[in-house]
A and B are shown apart, each in its own frame.
Chain A
Amino acid sequence: MNVRVVKPGMKTTVQDLGRRGFQKLGVVVGGAIDVPSHRLANLLVGNDDHWATLELTLAGPTVTFEGDTLIALTGAPIAASVAGLPAPMQRPVLVRAGATLTCGLAARGCRTYLAIAGGLDVPLVLGSRSTYERGAFGGFEGRSLRAGDLLPIGQPTPVASAWIDHLLRSSPSAIVAPPWSTGPAQSVHALRVARIMEGPEWPWLTAASQSRFTDEPFTVSPRSDRMGYRLRGPLMEFTEPRELISEGVCPGTIQIPAGGEPIILMADCATTGGYAKVACVAAVDLPMLAQLRPGEQLQFQWIGIEEAQTEYRQEAIAFERLRQTISRAASELSH
């Protein structure tokens, strides 16, 4: 059962958890830029974590479903509807065969995930279905979706089928959803604080730059994308000009290129880089960054590595508890 793209939205790509094991060959990991939201969307439609979803950016697509389909929307809250009825976020939603889901603009945040029961069934490339646009491979034909694209969908799991049967029976409407919803995938902080740890080249910065790095806020530049976020704010200066030889990097790494404007590397960053790595954002704060829009501000704050890892583990454990709760709800459907 395919899904037809009527309008592609601003930038909609197929993503999963990325390509692991090939960075040594220069192959970018990529994958969903807000991992918890991707995982939650998959959980709500009975998919495995690593199945592919659609990552929507700011303005979502309009798509038509050939068959009765279970979907879920997570991440940035987006105005979505089927036949004039609202498509709610954060829960499994049944869309009847032939119905069209129209997505509008995200009210806040930047990336919304649309999971479809069965997952996007595009070919695996180097073990992943993520789209690497720069290399034009992976995902759907290596690119963002366009009007007219026909998206192949995999087989829903038995859990998803149980939801579909239950929701089909509970209402004749083109769109049917349970009255409950999960909370958002990530904790929402009122003040956008990105917690950081010192990088290997932190000592290269002048004392003044080091103070300003956490004292003053930065603004996300419009020249930001899945590869990295450029930040406007206090320009960073080094005590002396120095060349760094290329080294392996990871998302969250904060580099200072010539010019002094920090860049936070994100999901599609290159595997190696030759710029000074002054700090690195805690993994647990990357989803918050992924939801920042150009023009929004953030502040850096120090965190110890052990504390950052403890929080990361706590969030993973909380997610597993949610998985149990949703499984229980699904098994109660068949009784």
Chain B
Amino acid sequence: MSEPRELISCLGDRAVIVRLGDRADRGTFLRVFALTSRLEASRIPGVLEFTPAFTSITIHYDPMLRDVEQIRADLARAVAEARQTDAPVPRFINIPVCYGGECGIDLDYVAEYHQLTRDDVIRIHSSAEYLVHMLGFVPGFPYLGGLPLEIATPRHPAPRLQVPMGSVGIAGSQSGIYSFPTPGGWQIIGRTPRLLFQPMAAEPTLLRPGDIVRFEPISEATFHATREYSP
């Protein structure tokens, strides 16, 4: 069975999007990761940086140094070479989460929606392994794949004005962790005391694409005692 063909589309005169699949699954993630690694290693002149996403990579380039035809040729070459690239060796990251109460105001809603108990939701959520597909939306915000379908819950019809920093959320079959307090419509089931983004740190984000995340339930007392940011 052949893999889906890669599609290269221009986004204006300074960016190109390479699409590698139709669905945000693990197979597509591996292809995105392989091509991103290949592109980063190849140091194409004029390329400024890359934005890998669920099924695509956006390449940002400087038209002073490389024109659109050259970029398309560079990318076609990189795509061919990427097919030989090995899968990443993932980092395994444990994220402590205080579930429910003030930390997860939608936990009861999610439980009721699926006719489960709160403890069921916590057990199901924290026994899965999640793949970080990409970061986006705000600095350090991870989009996670692998949410067990038994707790997949649609987002709120109208977003909240402010979701607290560290909130662990569900939107359909996606899940994520708010790295900043922002408006948001995701179902908030818990909150992590960890900082997801520190601009002055050597590694500015806690998570990177390719990381495997597990959530570890902690008590509210532990949450407050270990919180890395101000309330």
Residues of A within 8 A of B (CB): 20-28, 125-126, 132, 134-135, 137-138, 197, 199-200, 245-250, 252-253, 270-272, 277, 280-283, 305-306, 308-309, 312-313, 316
Contact B139 A305 (CB under 8 A): no
Contact A245 B17 (CB under 8 A): no
Which of A245, A282, A283, A305: most chain B CB closer than 10 A?
A245
Contact A200 B9 (CB under 8 A): yes
Contact A245 B24 (CB under 8 A): yes
In the complex, what distance in Å separates the CA atom of A295 from the CA atom of B52? 36
Q: What would 10 more interface pairs be, CB under 8 Å, given A24-B209, A305-B68?
A: A25-B205, A245-B24, A245-B55, A246-B134, A246-B137, A248-B17, A250-B15, A250-B60, A270-B137, A272-B136
Contact B139 A247 (CB under 8 A): no
Contact A24 B12 (CB under 8 A): no
Q: Tell me the interface secondary structure of chain A in the complex.
A: mixed
Contact B204 A27 (CB under 8 A): yes
| A25 contacts across to B, CB distance below 8 A | 135, 139-140, 204-205, 208
In the complex, what distance in Å separates the CA atom of A135 from the CA atom of B180? 7
Contact A271 B51 (CB under 8 A): yes
Determine which of A135, A199, A200, A249 lies in contact with B139 in the assembled complex, contact meaning CB atoms within 8 Å. Answer: A135
Contact A305 B13 (CB under 8 A): yes
For the complex, is B64 an interface residue (Cβ under 8 Å from A)? yes
For the complex, is B112 an interface residue (Cβ under 8 Å from A)? no
Contact A24 B67 (CB under 8 A): no
Contact B138 A250 (CB under 8 A): no
Nearest opposing residue in chain B for A312, CB measure = B63
Nearest opposing residue in chain A for B209, CB measure = A24
For the complex, is B212 an interface residue (Cβ under 8 Å from A)? no
Contact B13 A247 (CB under 8 A): no
CB distance from A320 to the nearest CB of B (A): 10
Contact A309 B13 (CB under 8 A): yes
Contact A23 B60 (CB under 8 A): yes
What are 6 A-B pairs with beta-carbon distances under 8 A?
Answer: A20-B48, A27-B199, A245-B54, A271-B136, A280-B11, A280-B13
| A23 contacts across to B, CB distance below 8 A | 49-51, 60
Interface residues on B, range: 35 or more
Contact A277 B136 (CB under 8 A): no
In the complex, what distance in Å separates the CA atom of A266 from the CA atom of B141? 20
For the complex, is B53 an interface residue (Cβ under 8 Å from A)? yes
In the complex, what distance in Å separates the CA atom of A156 from the CA atom of B69? 41
Contact B53 A246 (CB under 8 A): yes
Determine which of A132, A250, A308, A313 lies in contact with B11 in the assembled complex, contact meaning CB atoms within 8 Å. Answer: A250
For the complex, is B14 an interface residue (Cβ under 8 Å from A)? yes
Closest 4 CB pairs of A and B: A248-B51, A248-B58, A280-B12, A272-B136
CB distance from A246 to the nearest CB of B (A): 5
| B140 contacts across to A, CB distance below 8 A | 25-26
| B204 contacts across to A, CB distance below 8 A | 22, 25, 27, 126
In the complex, what distance in Å separates the CA atom of A281 from the CA atom of B200? 33
> Quick one: CB contact mask for B129-164 with A, threshold 8 Å, 1 for yes?
000001111111101000000000000000000000
CB distance from A226 to the nearest CB of B (A): 15
CB distance from A253 to the nearest CB of B (A): 6
For the complex, is B75 an interface residue (Cβ under 8 Å from A)? no
Determine which of B14, B48, B199 lies in contact with A283 in the assembled complex, contact meaning CB atoms within 8 Å. Answer: B14
In the complex, what distance in Å separates the CA atom of A236 from the CA atom of B204? 39
| A277 contacts across to B, CB distance below 8 A | 11
Contact B64 A316 (CB under 8 A): yes
For the complex, is B57 an interface residue (Cβ under 8 Å from A)? yes
For the complex, is B124 an interface residue (Cβ under 8 Å from A)? no
Determine which of A126, A272, A281, A316 lies in contact with B12 in the assembled complex, contact meaning CB atoms within 8 Å. Answer: A281
| A197 contacts across to B, CB distance below 8 A | 10, 12-13
